[in-house]
Amino acid sequence: MTAGFIQDELQALKSASLYRQLRHVAGDQGSTLMVDGREVLNFSSNNYLGLANHPALGKAAINAIERYGCGSGASRLISGNMTLHEELEIKLARLKGTQAALVFNSGFQANTGIIPTLVGVGDVVFSDALNHASIIDGCRLSRAKIVVYRHCDVDQLEDGLKDAPHSSRKLIVTESLFSMDGDEAPLKQIVELSEKYDAMTMVDEAHATGVYEPDGAGLISRLGLGERVLVQMGTLGKALGGFGAYIAGRAALRELLINRCRSFIFTTSLPPAVMAMAIAAIELIRREPERRRALRNNCARVRDGLLRLGYSLGDSRSQILPLMIGDANHCMRLSERLLEHGVFAQGIRPPTVPPGTSRLRITLMATHTSEQIDRALELFASVH
Ligand code: PLP
């Protein structure tokens, strides 16, 4: 077989303005970055609390390497279940107020492994239309029937639940704070529906972990729904500044995942330094609530500023502000222009978002200064 299709496919992506290229980022993940050799303000990172470049995480990683070595040597079920994996899981369970927690190597691996552990052939999985690619792939891998309901539309979700065969296992899966739109799922109504129709609930808190008041435990916890959600999933690589992912829930759920979840079982476990960073991050989000407050204040300022400029931001009230543009080509040109003028605001196109909804995804950090925000708003005004 020839590989001629590769060039054809690349050309097709270029013609549709959907071709992607890696940018070179130098320096750390602070509020300013060197992108492709140019110093710019960073409005494109998930380092929401400024922990990815916090010295406490660096020190914890160095100490862990000195004490436990670099690699974990094997998967968790062989010899890779090290002291720090267990310590982190105890701390995560305490943060989330659950019986147990289990660490995964990434959020992508967690979602693609957990969903097929919970449902299979003959079952039904209900998935929000704007769920992350890893959830979509997890649903597909499960081989359960997939019912995609309109974004946050609980009426359509209920119609689907009513129609599902009584005997099948049912799973509702949603993000809590949506990664590309910055809006919140109607979690309370979803949980009520899950109870009414005897369905399981899995909530992805990738972008909510660390940022919600009062304690950074996430939106489920803020709403007091912890006991009623079967799987609380989250990541360690966004607000927590490191890498990896976790689930929190009942001890029996943890046991089942250890026994059945392929993306947990068949992979080398995360190295000790990564565990140590997450432990340090959990301690920081507990000890420094002012980071969450600073993030909230920055969100409010940028949101008000952008609305005053006439931009549409959808339903976002969070640190993720989707500056809606529509056309992919126009969106990428705007993103490039902003970069030339010193602001990194990544353009997001299909397939990450639905066709016709390309946007600049602006993300705020607790560590953005007032001057940096004013400068960014000036630039957003000049390109509007
Ligand atoms: N879930 C959501 C909602 C995400 O935005 C992401 C982003 O990367 C993931 C899961 C995957 O997490 P990770 O980056 O840890 O693989």
- Are 246 and 296 within one domain? no
Over residues 240-264, the pLDDT tens digits come to: 999 999 999 999 999 999 999 999 9
Q: Which of 72, 106, 127, 179 is catalytic?
A: 179
328: CATH? 3.90.1150.10
Could you tell me which of 133, 150, 153 has the C-alpha nearest to residue 141? 133
Q: What is the DSSP string of 101-140?
A: EEEES-HHHHHHHHHHHH--TT-EEEEETT--HHHHHHHH
- Are 123 and 243 within one domain? yes
Q: Taking a C-beta distance cutoff of 8 angstroms, is the pair 181, 316 a contact?
A: yes
Is 166 known to be catalytic? no
Does residue 73 lie in a domain region?
A: yes
The pLDDT value recorded for residue 254 is 98
Does residue 147 lie in a domain region?
A: yes
C-alpha of residue 111 to centroid of ligand 1, in Å: 9
Residues pairing with 232 in the sheet: 203, 248
Residues pairing with 25 in the sheet: 35
Over residues 102-142, the pLDDT tens digits come to: 999 999 999 999 999 999 999 999 999 999 999 999 999 99
The pLDDT value recorded for residue 1 is 62
- Residue 261 structure tokens: 């979840």
Sequence-distant (6+) residues with CB within 8 A of 6 are none
Residue of 211, 235, 363 to test ligand 1 pocket, by largest number of atoms within 8 Å of CB: 235
Ligand 1 atom nearest to CA at 109: 16
- Are 121 and 142 within one domain? yes
Domain final residue pick, 241, 257, 287: 287
Taken in order 218, 221, 223, 226, the sign of the CA dihedral is positive
- Are 279 and 293 within one domain? no
Is 207 known to be catalytic? yes
- Are 63 and 176 within one domain? yes
Q: What is the mean pLDDT of each run of 10 residues along the chain (384 residues)?
A: 88 93 93 95 97 98 98 98 98 98 98 98 98 98 98 98 94 98 98 98 98 96 97 98 98 98 98 98 97 97 96 94 94 94 95 94 98 96 86
- Residue 6 structure tokens: 């590769």
Ligand 1 shell residues, CB under 6 Å: 106-108, 111, 132, 134, 175, 179, 204, 206-207, 235, 237, 245
146: CATH? 3.40.640.10
- Are 39 and 66 within one domain? no
The pLDDT value recorded for residue 246 is 98
Helix 187-196 with 154-163: angle, nearest 10 deg: 20
- Residue 284 structure tokens: 């920081």
Is 179 known to be catalytic? yes
The pLDDT value recorded for residue 384 is 75
